[in-house]
Chain A
Amino acid sequence: MTWINAALRVGFDIVLAPFSGMPDMVGLAVVALVCSIGMLWVFKRTSNQDALAAIKSQIHAGLFEIRLFNDDLPAIFRAQTQILKANARYLWHTLPPMLWIIVPFFFVVAQLQFHYGFAGLAPGDSAILTVRLSEGAEELGKEGKPSAALELPAGLVVEVGPVWAPALREMSWRIGAEKFGDYRAAVTFGDDEIEKSVVVNEEITRLSPNRVAKGFLAELIYPAEPPFETTEGIESVEITYPDREVNFFGWRTHWLIAFFILTIGFAFLLRTPMGVTI
């Protein structure tokens, strides 16, 4: 998982780097276009195109039958039954390509979420940096407040903290951004020394709200930053970035909605030139 994420991070950073200063939709549209082409290509090769074409013809025939015999109730019911059966067969035939598509699509969406789902801090903004201990590591806090230190580079300051919340197994600081930059905050917690990226930037760039300890599931969900090794049972180091909305032709919305609309739109436009039956 670690190596796959590392490769994907580099790949997406390179692909999206030219669009970082441009409007949100430019990079998103390019990725959506590439995804549409990729999905159509996979769909064509992993589906039974002849069967799909035949099923679609049957559906069309059923619709035509309803239109032609609209005064013949038994014929309409018969046609509708045929359409439903054809639809079920259609879904069955699209299952294999969907299974092929879903895994790479998940990785793409996960990477895009960390480019388009969050906004970087702006100078003057505050954010909360939290070290979370894994379950069972509460011993650290048994004797009172565990010793922890946060070292910040110039450009970031500690505003308040740390606050030890034993019930949450969390140690938190409120930090402030003073100027633009791509920073590394260093947290010392017991024997662990962990760095965490903190980005003060208005452009579209990869943001990691959560750096996690090594582990398949955690890395799958939070691929935006390399995992760390821990001896103190630290689960993650988090920072609160604000959510980002993208401007989709004047409509400010979550990037995923815009991305799905674009991907589906491109796929419909390209299916004929690419000779794909969907």
Chain B
Amino acid sequence: MALMKSKSRDGLARMVALAAISTALASLALSCAKAPPEKQVIVLGFDGMDYEFTRRLMRQGRMPNFSKVAAVGVFGPLATSVPPQSPVAWSDFMTGMDSGGHGIFDFVHRDPDTMQPYLSTSKTEGSERAIEIGKYKFPLAGGEVKLLRHGTPFWELLEDNGVESHIYRMPANFPPSGSATIELSGMGTPDILGTPGTFSFYTSDIFVNERQISGGEIHALDFWDNRAEGRLSGPENPFLRRRQKLSVDFTLHVDPEAPVAKLVVGDEQRILAVGEWSDWVPIEFEMIPTQVLPAMGRFYLKSLRPEVELYVSPLQIDPMNPALPISTPENFSKKLARRTGRFYTQGMPEDTKALTGGIFSHEEFLRQAKITGDEILDQYEFVLDDFDGGLLFYYFGNLDLISHMMFRSTDPGHPAYDPERDPENLKVIEATYEAFDRIVGYTLDNMPENAKLVVMSDHGFASWRRSFHLNNWLIENGYMVVKNPDKVGGTNIYSNVDWSRTRAYGLGLNGLYLNIEGRESKGIVPASERDELIAEISRKLLAEIDPKTGEPAVTRMYELEETYEGPYLGIGPDLQVGYNKGTRCSFQSAIGDLTDEVISDNMDEWSGDHCMDHTKVPGILLTNRELVRPARSLKELGGSILAEFGIGWSETAAGG
């Protein structure tokens, strides 16, 4: 007994000693983990902030925080990518490489076997192996979402060197790279259907046909006895052998007298007055009795009388229970949503398609854009408060899409300029710049004392007056041949193209490809004639004069091998077209459609753009102190941020 007591006393002593050592080690580890790193860098990414526009407002004293920072630091233009498209530009920034290195040349690339376009930044693949029982199939492995952007993002090098990086909504980073301490995916994140964003519009108007429009679907509502019933569409059910879309029914109970209604979706209910937006409504699509697909949507009650009209936002990946990976660590989106409420997870949430499709008025679009902007701003306050060192990157996309929809207001020479409405729209753009200035002010007031602040944008903006139908130009100049010359206009995705006689085709907002033998499935141009053809087309495009303005339509042509370097040149277009400021590739031509003319006035609501000659749409760079290693271009900026921490690009990265 005495021995036992002695043993247990020894054991107790050992345990106490062990506990003390463990506690000391834990405290040490904790204190090491908590100690703020020496360097703190905050990078604010303001998508689409234009250098000239910013400078004008600064001169007018309307961006006092920018002016304050510029007075003690650096403010200037930041050279953008070739072409100046957001996924390309942000990929240049994060990898320090051009498209040849990271493999993103445009929003869309083409499959040379099928000649069909696909999203350039990510790809979703279902499970190939499944067990089939009756009408069901049970996948043996989960599907996969692949990030198609290559290269090492600069924050990976920071992490390798022990510097924490918090990367919020970096474009072209879906699914998240997994290499940062915290990541939330941004531009490129799809809605629950896997599209960039597909809204639904429901109407009781019996004369409106159910149909798909660009970026949306129009559905009929069954309306009787003050009750409207509709169905929300989800993606295809992966558990069924036969292709069948998931769906959830909803009911709108319309008050017989007042302009109010009660919405019931599953277990959720909301009361909405006409003109009101709901908060996020969780939605569950039942795939099989034990499996649901979580999603969420916002409902906007547009009208109740004479017709019931209900807009439903693109159904989103629910951050509380994400169906696809949208953050690092995977449960971070849930943590964020718990703190700040559910939020748009879709990459570009401002619903420009609802405006261009005539579903939203300008006021309704601005209201929706404000909802998205407010969510991102609310989260920023939480994120900045939580930041205690290392690198914080936070992206704001609101300005880009508002500028796309309203930039003609800066240009009375725009063919669709409306002297009644556009002066008000100009105020909206200016107010957005001023709001971004306040974000800088808020950051200055709340960031760690010695932190370095970097404010940057990926490109600038220009009024988009003239649409260049590249594929029609190719037809007119004999490079593309159609099967039926009487039906040139109104065809879609090369459906009328005679590939056996076509030598070049346009795809994407700046891309021009040659139909090369052995590369394209129906290629006819021998590889030996490629250089000559490139030179010929470049020369002709540079000589093309817009008959309305008398100015060149194209001011710069970029040849693949001369512009880019790296292992992914094979994906890229043979030529990138640098349109003159004010001219851009038409939407039709960008996806392989044909029209009746070569250059036309842009009368679309989408009236501002930047997919032009890259030298004419620079972004901005603002820092509160000189950078250790100055940056003149997006491609250099990632390296400059690394240099702030005393780190250089690795040999695998071409940056710098």
A160 to B251, CA, bound (A): 18
Specify the chain B residue showing the minimal Cβ separation from A144: B256
Interface residues on A, range: 10 to 19
Cβ-defined contact, B255 with A163, below 8 A: yes
Would B260 and A128 count as touching, CB distance under 8 A? no
- Once the chains bind, are A145 and B271 in contact (CB under 8 Å)? no
Q: Does A155 contact B (CB under 8 A)?
A: no
B window 212-257: CB within 8 A of A: 225-227, 251, 253, 255-257
Question: In the docked arrangement, what's the CA distance between A177 and B279, Å?
Answer: 16
Q: Does A165 belong to the interface (CB within 8 Å)? A: yes
Q: Please state if B271 and A164 are interface contacts (CB–CB under 8 Å).
A: no
Q: Tell whether, in the assembled complex, residue B253 and residue A163 are in contact, meaning their CB atoms are under 8 Å apart.
A: yes
Chain A residue with Cβ nearest B257: A145
**Is A145 in contact with B256, judged by CB distance below 8 angstroms?**
yes
B261: Cβ under 8 A from any A Cβ? yes
Assess whether B539 is interfacial by the CB under 8 Å rule: no
Q: Is A168 an interface residue (CB 8 A)?
A: yes
A56 interface residue per 8 A CB criterion: no
Q: Are B260 and A167 in contact (CB under 8 A)?
A: no
Is B272 in the interface zone, CB < 8 Å from A?
yes
Which chain A residue has the least Cβ–Cβ distance from B256? A145
- Whether the Cβ atoms of A165 and B253 lie closer than 8 Å is yes
| Known A128-B269, A164-B256; contact A172-B262, beta-carbon cutoff 8 A | yes
8 Å CB interface, B262-303 against A: 262, 264, 269-273, 276, 279
Q: Which of A126, A159, A167 contacts B225 (CB 8 A)?
A: A167
In the assembled complex, the Cα of A144 lies from the Cα of B260 at a distance in Å of 15
> Which residues of the partner chain B approach A164 to less than 8 Å between Cβ atoms?
255-257
Query: A165 — nearest CB in chain B belongs to which residue?
Result: B253
Least distance between B287 CB and chain A CB atoms (Å):
23
Picked from B227, B257, B279, the residue with its CB within 8 Å of the CB of A167 is B227
Cβ–Cβ contact B260 & A160, under 8 A: yes
C-alpha gap A269/B195 in the complex (Å): 54
What A residues does B33 contact at CB under 8 A?
Answer: none
Q: Which residues of B contact A87 (CB under 8 A)?
A: none
Instruction: List chain B residues, Cβ under 8 A from A165.
Output: 226-227, 253, 255, 262
- Residues from chain B with Cβ under 8 Å of A126 in the complex: 279
Choose from A159, A166, A172, A174 the contact partner of B226 (Cβ within 8 Å).
Answer: A166
CB distance from A29 to the nearest CB of B (A): 23
Q: B residues within 8 A CB of A167?
A: 225-227, 251, 253
Q: By the criterion CB–CB under 8 Å, are B260 and A163 in contact?
A: yes
Q: B258: CB under 8 A from chain A?
A: yes
Contact yes or no, B276 A160, CB < 8 A: yes
Closest to B263 in A: A163
Q: Which of A163, A164, A173: most chain B Cβ within 10 A?
A: A163
Tell me the nearest residue of chain B to A127, going by C-beta. B271
Query: Which of chain A's residues 39-94 have a Cβ closer than 8 Å to chain B?
Result: none
Mark contacts of A137-176 with chain B using CB atoms, 8 A cut-off: 1 yes-contact digit, 0 otherwise: 0000000110000000000000111111111101011100
Given contacts A161-B260, A163-B260, A166-B226, contact A174 B271 (CB under 8 A): yes
| B271 contacts across to A, CB distance below 8 A | 128, 159-161, 163, 172-174
Residues of B within 8 Å of A174, CB to CB, are 270-271
Interface string of B374-407 (1 = CB under 8 A from A): 0000000000000000000000000000000000
Find chain A residues with CB under 8 A from B262 CB. Answer: 163, 165, 168, 170, 172
In the complex, whether A277 has a CB less than 8 A from a CB of chain B is no
A165 to B229, CA, bound (A): 13
Q: Which residues 244-258 in A have Cβ within 8 Å of B in the complex?
A: none
Contacts of A145 in B (CB 8 A): 255-257
Report chain B residues within 8 Å CB of A240.
269
Residues 173 to 228 of chain B near chain A (Cβ within 8 Å): 225-227
> CB-defined interface of A104-144 with B at 8 Å, one 1/0 digit per residue?
00000000000000000000001010000000000000001
- Give B residues with C-beta under 8 Å from A: 225-227, 251, 253, 255-258, 260-262, 264, 269-273, 276, 279
Which 5 pairs between the two chains have the least Cβ-Cβ distance?
A165-B253, A174-B271, A163-B255, A163-B262, A160-B273
Q: Can you identify 23 A-B contacts, CB atoms within 8 angstroms?
A: A128-B270, A128-B271, A160-B272, A160-B276, A161-B271, A162-B255, A163-B253, A163-B261, A163-B262, A163-B271, A165-B226, A165-B253, A165-B255, A165-B262, A166-B226, A167-B225, A167-B226, A167-B251, A168-B253, A172-B269, A172-B271, A173-B271, A174-B271
7 new A-B contacts at CB < 8 Å, known A159-B271, A164-B257, A240-B269: A126-B279, A161-B260, A165-B255, A166-B226, A168-B253, A168-B262, A170-B262
